[in-house]
């Protein structure tokens, strides 16, 4: 009996010592962190590996064992491993532009890179230990999940999920036909468009109000100019137009006369030049004759003196 009691005491002591160690080991083997719309911004600090999955996805189910084993190495690698269920968080799937499942991102200090390598536990560990993410170009600023454009896309995904849930509820819970659900959504869309149009008109009227129409009369001079001309004024205008046409006719005739005179004056100047040349030639001949006569007289006088 004493021996049995001693063995029982030793067994209880061993259990008390082993159970805390097992609890510590289980605590070290952490499960992936669940990321939601409320806590996703904690990924902007530190280093993370995040997997986007869906419960119905066969490929996601195939990666699940390796991903859990990799998450147990998170503390040794100084990295956080997380999961995102896109069926529960449609806004995050839009924010991270998830187009295929599973999608894995590596995040370090707010820089997002998409992991495209093999999906085994050792491959994940090697990717982190050898810093292979350095060779991958990070996402641009406008595609970053914390940018304004991705925030708007996230809201669109949320709205689409709400619409889908409403459609499912109408068709399954209330037995509304599919075409009836579509008709309700069409009417709701038209009403929303009308409400938005009224709101925009109201805002434009508030921001840019139109000027009120004044009832004051315009000045008398402006009113006179706006009145139609009387018959007497029309006659004066016609007579003025006729005089203007006569004057223009006189001006045209005088222009034609001047144009005709211009070549005549040019010919007259040429004739005058010719006459002046002829007069100069006649004067030259007369002078030559006078010189010849004087020479003959002087020669006659010389002959007389010699005789």
Catalytic residue set = 57, 60
Round to whole Å and give the CA distance between 190 and 147.
31
Helix, strand, or coil (residue 215):
coil
Residue 71 contacts residue 32 (beta carbons within 8 Å): yes
Helix, strand, or coil (residue 15):
helix
Residue 74, H or E segment: helix 74-77
Token duo for residue 302: 């010389």
Burial of 121 (0-12, 13-18, 19+ CB in 10 A): middle
Residues 6+ away with beta carbon under 8 Å from 45: 109, 110
Round to whole Å and give the CA distance between 67 and 205.
58
Q: Write phi, then psi, for 229 (nearest 5 degrees).
A: -70, 150
Residues 6+ away with beta carbon under 8 Å from 84: 34, 35, 40, 50, 51, 52, 53, 92, 93, 96
Residues 6+ away with beta carbon under 8 Å from 149: 142, 143
Round to whole Å and give the CA distance between 150 and 143.
6
**Helices 58-72/121-129 angle, 10° precision:** 50
């Amino acid at each position: 009996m004493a021996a049995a009691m001693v063995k029982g005491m030793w067994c209880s002591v061993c259990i008390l010592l082993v159970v805390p160690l097992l609890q510590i080991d289980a605590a070290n083997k952490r499960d992936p962190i669940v990321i939601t719309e409320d806590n996703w911004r904690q990924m902007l600090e530190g280093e993370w590996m995040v997997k986007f999955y869906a419960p119905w996805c066969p490929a996601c189910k195939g990666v699940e064992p390796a991903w859990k084993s990799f998450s147990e190495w998170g503390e040794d690698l100084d990295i956080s491993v997380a999961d995102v269920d896109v069926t529960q968080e449609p806004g995050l799937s839009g924010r991270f532009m998830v187009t295929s499942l599973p999608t894995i991102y590596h995040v370090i200090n707010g820089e997002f890179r998409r992991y495209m390598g093999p999906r085994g536990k050792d491959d994940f560990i090697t990717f982190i230990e050898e810093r292979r993410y350095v060779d991958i170009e990070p996402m641009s600023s406008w595609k970053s999940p914390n940018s304004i454009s991705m925030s708007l896309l996230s809201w669109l995904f949320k709205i689409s999920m709400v619409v889908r849930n409403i459609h499912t509820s109408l068709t399954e819970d209330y037995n509304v036909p599919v075409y009836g659900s579509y008709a309700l959504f069409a009417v709701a869309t038209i009403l929303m468009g009308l409400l938005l149009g009224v709101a925009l008109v109201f805002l434009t009227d508030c921001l840019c109000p139109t000027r009120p129409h004044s009832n004051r009369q315009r000045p008398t001079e402006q009113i006179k100019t706006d009145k139609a001309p009387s018959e007497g004024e029309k006659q004066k205008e016609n007579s003025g137009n006729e005089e203007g046409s006569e004057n223009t006719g006189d001006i045209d005739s005088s222009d034609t006369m001047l144009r005709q005179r211009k070549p005549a004056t040019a010919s007259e100047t040429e004739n005058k030049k010719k006459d002046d040349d002829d007069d100069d030639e006649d004067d030259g001949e007369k002078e030559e004759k006078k010189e010849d006569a004087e020479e003959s007289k002087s020669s006659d006088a010389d002959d007389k003196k010699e005789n």
